[in-house]
């Protein structure tokens, strides 16, 4: 998947900007969030089209306002990358968002927004690897066995654009849980606020994953069911041992 950014920004009429600013002031009165840059898709290629996802610059305040705007006046199609993480004993690892985040208790794949690197370049895979290490811990970068492209999704509850990779670890689920907990404790001791409260290990069997998604349907992010249920053959192929 190719990404393209020409340096342009999303432009809003003054009335809409005022709405965004008022909403930001309301939800961020305790200073929990940082209004950083967000890359939003301005155009997305069709499935069989050899083209790029073109992006424009907006910010987190716009993203949060658009997420709750039922009118969808100006969608923020934030572009992110995420990893379907599989352990060597065949468990999928899913993180549950902490209470201080904008999506408390939400269960999702490790990942985050696409960002420009120091050279102004875009690399979804590197962004995904960085997010996995930041959210789960450095061991998850060192124990990486294989990384493969998986799929792209667009639309859903938040109109986001997700670029997904299949990541296989040389770690068991038990080892992954221990490493995550150890890293989370270290972050908390250093005064930092981890993105994930806990890490779920779900047996990589279609029936088990379907039951987990159904049981936690109020908390799982919107892309989990399409990826793990409708897209099961693709996930199975991407994560299969060489």
Q: What residue ranges do the domains of the chain occupy?
A: 83-149+167-222
8 φ, ψ to 5°?
Answer: -80, 160
Q: Which residue do the tokens 């992010």 mark?
A: 221
- The model's confidence at residue 242, banded by pLDDT at 50, 70 and 90, is low
pLDDT surpassing 90 at residue 59:
yes
Asked if residue 74 lies in contact with residue 18, where contact means CB atoms within 8 angstroms, the answer is no
pLDDT in tens, 156-210: 777 889 999 999 999 999 999 999 999 999 999 999 999 999 999 999 999 999 9
pLDDT surpassing 90 at residue 50:
no
- The model's confidence at residue 47, banded by pLDDT at 50, 70 and 90, is low
pLDDT surpassing 90 at residue 211:
yes
Q: What is the CA radius of gyration of the chain?
A: 18
Q: In terms of CATH architecture, what is 83-149+167-222?
A: Alpha-Beta Complex (3.90)
What does the alpha-carbon distance between residue 232 and residue 176 come to, in Å, rounded to a whole number?
Answer: 23
- The model's confidence at residue 49, banded by pLDDT at 50, 70 and 90, is low
pLDDT surpassing 70 at residue 18:
yes
* H or E element in which residue 150 lies: strand 144-155
Asked if residue 26 lies in contact with residue 50, where contact means CB atoms within 8 angstroms, the answer is no
Mean pLDDT over all residues of the chain? Answer: 91
What pLDDT, on the 0 to 100 scale, is given for residue 6? 87
């Amino acid at each position: 998947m190719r990404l393209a950014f020409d340096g342009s920004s999303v432009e809003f009429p003054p009335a809409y900007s005022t709405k965004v600013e008022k909403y930001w002031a309301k939800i961020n009165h305790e200073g929990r969030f940082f209004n950083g840059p967000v890359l939003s898709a301005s155009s997305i290629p069709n499935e069989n089209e050899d083209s790029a996802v073109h992006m424009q610059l907006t910010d987190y305040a716009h993203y949060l306002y658009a997420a709750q705007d039922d009118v969808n006046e100006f969608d923020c199609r934030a572009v992110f990358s995420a990893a379907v993480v599989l352990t060597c004993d065949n468990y999928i690892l899913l993180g549950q968002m902490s209470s201080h985040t904008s999506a408390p208790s939400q269960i999702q794949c490790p990942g985050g927004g696409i960002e420009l690197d120091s050279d102004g370049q875009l690399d979804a895979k590197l962004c995904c690897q960085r997010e996995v290490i930041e959210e789960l811990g450095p061991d998850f970068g060192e124990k990486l066995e294989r990384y493969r492209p998986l799929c792209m999704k667009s639309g859903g509850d938040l109109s986001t654009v997700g670029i997904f990779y299949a990541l296989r670890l040389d770690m068991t689920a038990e080892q992954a849980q221990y490493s995550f907990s150890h890293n989370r404790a270290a972050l908390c001791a250093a005064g930092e606020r981890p993105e994930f409260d806990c890490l779920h290990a779900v047996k990589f069997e279609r029936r088990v994953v379907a039951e987990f998604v159904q049981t936690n349907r109020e908390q799982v992010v919107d892309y989990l069911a399409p990826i793990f249920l409708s897209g099961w053959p693709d996930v199975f192929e991407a994560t299969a041992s060489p």
